[in-house]
Amino acid sequence: MGHKILLVEDEHLVGTMVRLNMESEGHEVTWCRTAPAALEEATGQPFDLVLLDIGLPGGDGLAVLSEMRKRGIGTPVMMLTARGDVASKVQALDIGADDYLGKPFDVAELIARAGALIRRSRADREVPADQVVRFDAYEVNLATREAVTSQGRVTLSEKEAAFLAMLVRARGATLTRNDILEEVWGMDVTPTQRTVDNVVLRLRKLFEPNPDEPVHILTVRGAGYRFEP
Ligand code: CA
C-alpha cells in the first residue's frame, strides 16, 4: 500500500529523483521547497514520513523539525543532507529525527530506510479493536487515526482524532470550547476558540452526510459541541 510522504528539498535534481523513485514505489509525494512551506504542510495534514533537507530557503530543516516536534507532530523524519558532519547529525537526532542520510545517497538505500521507518511507525501504532469507533456509515481507528469518511479513507491529524475521541467519549454531553482546548490542545500551543471551530468544520466534512445540517457533531448554541452517534 502506498504511503503519504512529505519531501522537503530545494535542489531540483535531488527532489525530482527522490519524488520519481518514491512514486514508483507507489507512494504519494508532496514536495515543498522552502522551510515555511514545509512547516505549513507538516502541520496541516498527516504524513507517514517526512524527508527533510537541512539547508533550505527561508530557514533551516533542523528548525522545521524542532517546531514540528514542539507542536506534537510525531511523524517519522529522515534528514537528507549534504552536511555529512557528525555535529549536525547528532543535533538532528537530538531534536527528534528518526534517521539521517548524507548526500549523495544511493536511491536503493533511501527506499529501504524509508520503508523501514514507515513500518516501524505503523507497528508502534497498532492497537486493540476497542479503539475503533463506528457510527452511521463511518469508522475511526483512534490509535492509527485511520478513518472511513464521507471523503473516503482518510488519516486524521492528531488533533482531529483527539477531538473526535473526546466527543465520542462524552456521548450526548455538551463539551465547551474551553474543555476541548484544554484536553486536545493542552499547553503546547496557543490556539483560540476559532481553532476549535475550524476543526469542527473539517470533522463535519468527514463525518456528516450533509456538513451544512449536522446530525452527529452538533453545535450547542452559546455552550459548545455535543456528539450524537
Ligand atoms: Ca538544500
DSSP secondary structure letters along 32-56:
E-SHHHHHHHHHHS--SEEEEESEE
Which contiguous run of DSSP H or E holds residue 218? strand 217-220
Question: Within a 10 A sphere around the Cβ of 123, how many other Cβ atoms?
Answer: 8
Give distance in angstroms: CA of 138 to centre of ligand 1. Answer: 42
Mean pLDDT in residue range 3-12:
95
**pTM exceeds 0.85, yes or no:** no
Give distance in angstroms: CA of 9 to centre of ligand 1. Answer: 6
Give distance in angstroms: CA of 55 to centre of ligand 1. Answer: 4
Mean pLDDT score of the chain, rounded to an integer?
Answer: 86
In this structure, what C-alpha cell is assigned to residue 203?
470533522
Give distance in angstroms: CA of 73 to centre of ligand 1. Answer: 23
Give distance in angstroms: CA of 54 to centre of ligand 1. Answer: 6
In the chain, what are the domains?
4-125 (3.40.50.2300), 128-227 (1.10.10.10)
Q: φ, ψ for residue 187 (rounded to 5)?
A: -100, 0
Map residue 146 onto helix, strand or coil. strand
Residue 224 has pLDDT above 70, yes or no: yes
pLDDT for 45-67, tens place per residue? 889 999 999 999 998 899 999 99
Give distance in angstroms: CA of 114 to centre of ligand 1. Answer: 19
Give distance in angstroms: CA of 51 to centre of ligand 1. Answer: 12
CA–chain centroid gap for 161, Å, is: 11
Exposure string of 61-100, with b = 16+ CB inside 10 Å and e = fewer, is: bbebbbbbeeeebebbbbbbbebeeeebbebbeebbbbbb
Give distance in angstroms: CA of 39 to centre of ligand 1. Answer: 15
CB under 5 Å of ion ligand 1: residues: 10, 53, 55
State the pairing for strand pair 55-56/49-53. Answer: unpaired
Which contiguous run of DSSP H or E holds residue 92? helix 86-94
Please tell me the predicted confidence (pLDDT) of residue 207: 95
